[in-house]
Amino acid sequence: YTDDHGATFHLSQTVAFEGSNESTAAQLTNNSLMMNSRNQVGKYRVVSLSSNGGQTWDTTFVDHNLPDPICEGSLLNIGTKKGKSILAFCNNVSQQHRDSLTLQISYDEGKSWKKRFLIDPKKTAYSDILKLSENKIGILYEADDYKEIRFTVVKWQ
């Protein structure tokens, strides 16, 4: 983590969930952080929350709202609504295979994921997301059983 806009970096406390890795984080309201991690031992994502900028992790849990076939996922803060951070999350929502790449939107800081957009129903893998504008998200992802890198744009609102 960094507290000085990238001039220096520090190693945070290890997340107390064996098998979590390939993590991505997003800032929530009140300067808290959410880290979303791949779960090597289960079929759902691992979520950790920090109230001190990522120095330590207050709580870590398996999020049964986010199925996953043991693959990387991407998390991004894309704005606020009614004082809460709007989050975008992209991963393969199948629990058996790396397929069904889906973009999900949460209006309540990851407690629920009300909007879902199926990006690619076939074999997909790692993805990265970015905010292109107030209503568009770009998704770069591995497709066609690791043979292609694709980019698509989703109008999420």
Please say whether the beta carbons of 79 and 136 come within 8 A. Answer: no
Q: What percentage of the chain's residues is helix, strand, coil (to nearest 5)?
A: 0, 60, 40
Mean pLDDT, range 1-7, rounded to an integer: 88
- Number of Cβ within a 10 Å radius of residue 69: 17
- pLDDT per position as a tens digit, 111-129: 999 999 999 999 999 999 9
CA-CA distance, 65 to 80, in Å (whole number)? 21
Q: Which helix (H) or strand (E) holds 139?
A: strand 136-143
pLDDT above 90: residue 30? no
- Confidence band for 135, pLDDT divided at 50, 70 and 90: very high
pTM of the model: 0.94
Backbone angles phi, psi at 2, to 5 degrees: -135, 140
pLDDT above 90: residue 142? yes
Q: Mean pLDDT of all residues in the chain?
A: 95
